Structure 1
């Protein structure tokens, strides 16, 4: 065990020191991803010169953070559409009809029906502004389907397309159904010898261009083999079909595992600035599936027959920006937090919280978490999405009335690593459990500083009683396997704070620093 301060190479400089990777290179080009870190199932809405985006939030609360941009590269958060726990939320769709905004939301295990084995239900929320406030969720009574895609047909009626691909007609106000769920499209079939996870026809998104409705769908499975997930297109002159498959399907796919982005899928086609068309979708970064599904932006061209073609080529290289920045370029939000604001920063969310989770926390002179559970697995840690391959996190904590607090890299309640302290002794965690044979000789103290460095999957930990002199934890970890193909959950590895046992933990001065590649 060494006593030392982490070397200066751990400290980065420039715009990345407080945030994550930015796509906008500042020279008229951009480099994917446009949203680094776990931002899966992007749902986008163009409203004049404004663009709005949200992603699957799964069991995180607050959920469905709404983002706004005018240039497709620099995005700022407006706030959560779901501020309280509601269930497992994923693959939504956003639309605007008659000056009102709608988000259609598949939910599993809701607060009303917490049975995780129950089939998913489709809900809707609505608002006069994308910044909210949003209505309470309304259950549409559509069961057993996911991935809604809203469309208004040439007949003026509103429809939701669903996984499968099925469809249900909506009432005029979009807050109920007006007919049965019906199967409307069988999907394009890839050759049987292609290496995929499963066929899994899902993610239907509808776009209208000229006289045609274009239906993009995802097939091949979301994770598993890197060549699985893909984007297919079909079109029809009527919302009622028949649907004609694109002769060049799939228009987007990872063809070889040496490519920089794997499992590309769940795409939406849309018109951007200056009449240029785009596709926005998610993919895993080759070698960094721990970061989750990241959001990619690729230009679309149209052939003489009216079919779309992905025109981005090698996505490891810069591409021309969609437009000049409308205002001073700024993307995302800083991840560091001194916890002096009397509200949660937009970067934070509880993992799988209970309905009364916010009663556990108070913010002002630090973040005070009421202890819950017996380990990180049942403590509902407070997490933050990161998108860098190399980074450092640190926090100071006060332990009150017998609580254990700690700092983790957290994938799920079954897979995490890090360290906790209860005032008397340090507990080490690896692979989702305490390590019973490891007793770190950390000092007995009620105030301690913790630091974790994740250097391209190699994790080194430190602790300190004064925040100046640091002792390196005796164990290092390799967390490359902390990903969906290990844990079978579509999540990502995130920094996390936790409090277990009895009493409280006060956290101060959380710091995030990206490390230069």
Structure 2
């Protein structure tokens, strides 16, 4: 990716440093949190349109507005909602799900009779391991209702549809479907199998058949069913987008003669495992596909949101026009660009979910761990280390970046800066009452050697240079001491499972608390 597109940016999460440390600390720039910007400013864009971990994107067109949301898995507040007017420039709106109901997988946004709905599949422990919930609101900005258990079990990837008779349905993975109530809040029918998918050639290298992600579009007298197949990760050539259509919501479904309409065909392409698509009409009436994919060589960033133009053939089938997405393309016309990301000048409560999220929080009182005052975030300790501390993390969308933070611990606490995939796979550098704590591959290292030091208050920094990360510490934020460097390309789903991404963040463990200020994020060029 051309480094000129890597906009230097700052997560200026604290407007004031700790009083005793600020006098000698280097000044912190302010800026926009937005990761790589897709809009090239000349009427063209270059994918990704939303960089970083944006898995299973689902887009709703609502008049002139577009809303997107993504699988939020173990991150809470969950179900982030973003807004756009042109499908290229996106701004976060809110996090719709505050109540911790489990591991949130691919979901669906719908608008029906003036009301908004989000259908949420959740992986939980117990005798009903997969459940379907729904939340609803009068506005995409919320407030959103508490989650309602629809009593639809063992299904994932709901896709809302309305039949020719006005009745409402949810389509699910495996070509299944369930009739739901007119108010959209409960099931009224049984699970029924309605579609068998597209026959994948036996010699294709894929993760599995994996018929999932159904999205139903009604257009020109047809119901079009867009689905993902091949597996969402695994080999680069696994995922794909297939289409079927029917004159009736009840089928029969006819497969598109040029399926798959999107697929990574070779491992040297810039985007891998492309799939899970929503077809959406652009502001000028032309049509687009929004889907996700891994960046070649950077699975650590997660599945990023991609945009590709499509056309409708004379016989009524969609055909994708973007190729391997390696080149800039004309932007959708007729929409307004607007901001990308969110300008920040200090901590605010609405950052939780739009920017910061807890990784695998315990229970529903997780927000009580945080106190915001005077530009400083105080985080109450939990667990014994990063693994069970439910760190506060954020999405990184650049191949290379730098993160810095000031940290101070109070009481029996360890706290610091981490790159976190899950509780078994992370690295980081933390403060302790008598020494530094270093972590690699999810374990604390018996290191650094030497005499104990006063490590209750330090500046911390990590530099991720294309999956090689180096940690530093400093007394004043000017003179930095380098600690350790790690190669982290393997900190990804194909190694650790879970469909997550490697995210920078902060943690506090133990019975005390930690104070953080001046958390900054800056994109870097390779080997800068």
The interval holding the TM-score normalised by the smaller chain is over 0.9
Matches for 1:106-145 after TM superposition, within 5 Å: 106-109=121-124, 114-115=125-126, 118-145=128-155
Query: Could you tell me how far apart the structure 2 residues matched to 1:197 and 1:118 are?
Result: 26
Native 8 Å contact 2:160 2:215 kept in 1: yes
Counterpart of 1:469 in structure 2 is 479
Matches for 1:80-159 after TM superposition, within 5 Å: 80-109=95-124, 114-115=125-126, 118-159=128-169
Residue 377 of structure 1 aligns to a residue whose secondary structure is helix
Q: How far apart are residue 246 of structure 1 and its match?
A: 0.5
500, 504, 509: which one pairs with 1:495?
504
Query: Could you tell me how far apart the structure 1 residues matched to 2:287 and 2:516 are?
Result: 46
Counterpart of 1:230 in structure 2 is 240
Residue 46 of structure 1 aligns to a residue whose secondary structure is strand
Unaligned runs of 5+ residues in structure 2 are 11-30
Q: How far apart are residue 439 of structure 1 and its match?
A: 3.1
Native 8 Å contact 2:9 2:523 kept in 1: no
Matches for 1:254-265 after TM superposition, within 5 Å: 254-265=264-275
Native 8 Å contact 1:338 1:508 kept in 2: no
Deviations 1:307-326 (A, max 9, x none): 11110123111000002552
Matches for 1:377-456 after TM superposition, within 5 Å: 377-436=387-446, 438-439=448-449, 443-456=453-466
Distance 1:424 1:15, change over 3 A: closer
Query: Could you tell me how far apart the structure 2 residues matched to 1:84 and 1:43 are?
Result: 21
Distance 1:165 1:442, change over 3 A: farther
Counterpart of 1:5 in structure 2 is none
327, 331, 341: which one pairs with 1:332?
341
Query: Could you tell me how far apart the structure 2 residues matched to 1:161 and 1:147 are?
Result: 8
Deviations 1:43-89 (A, max 9, x none): 11111111111001011111111111111111111111112322111
Query: Could you tell me how far apart the structure 1 residues matched to 2:210 and 2:324 are?
Result: 27
Deviations 1:135-167 (A, max 9, x none): 111111100000000011111111100111111
Counterpart of 1:312 in structure 2 is 322
Q: How far apart are residue 436 of structure 1 and its match?
A: 2.3
Q: How far apart are residue 90 of structure 1 and its match?
A: 1.5
Residue 420 of structure 1 aligns to a residue whose secondary structure is strand
Native 8 Å contact 1:301 1:310 kept in 2: yes
The answer to whether the aligner puts 1:350 opposite 2:358 as a matched pair is yes
Native 8 Å contact 2:438 2:447 kept in 1: no
67, 70, 78: which one pairs with 2:93?
78
62, 69, 79: which one pairs with 1:54?
69
- TM-score, length basis structure 1: 0.93
Distance 1:64 1:78, change over 3 A: same
Residue 174 of structure 2 aligns to a residue whose secondary structure is coil
Q: How far apart are residue 442 of structure 1 and its match?
A: 7.0
Q: How far apart are residue 502 of structure 1 and its match?
A: 1.8
Distance 1:405 1:248, change over 3 A: same
Distance 1:338 1:508, change over 3 A: farther
Query: Could you tell me how far apart the structure 2 residues matched to 1:441 and 1:467 are?
Result: 22
Deviations 1:491-517 (A, max 9, x none): 111101011112110011101101135
Aligned residues: 498
Deviations 1:252-284 (A, max 9, x none): 000000000000010011211111001000000
Counterpart of 1:212 in structure 2 is 222
Aligned CA-pair RMSD: 1.7
483, 486, 507: which one pairs with 2:495?
486
The answer to whether the aligner puts 1:69 opposite 2:99 as a matched pair is no
Query: Could you tell me how far apart the structure 2 residues matched to 1:74 and 1:350 are?
Result: 26
Matches for 1:142-181 after TM superposition, within 5 Å: 142-181=152-191
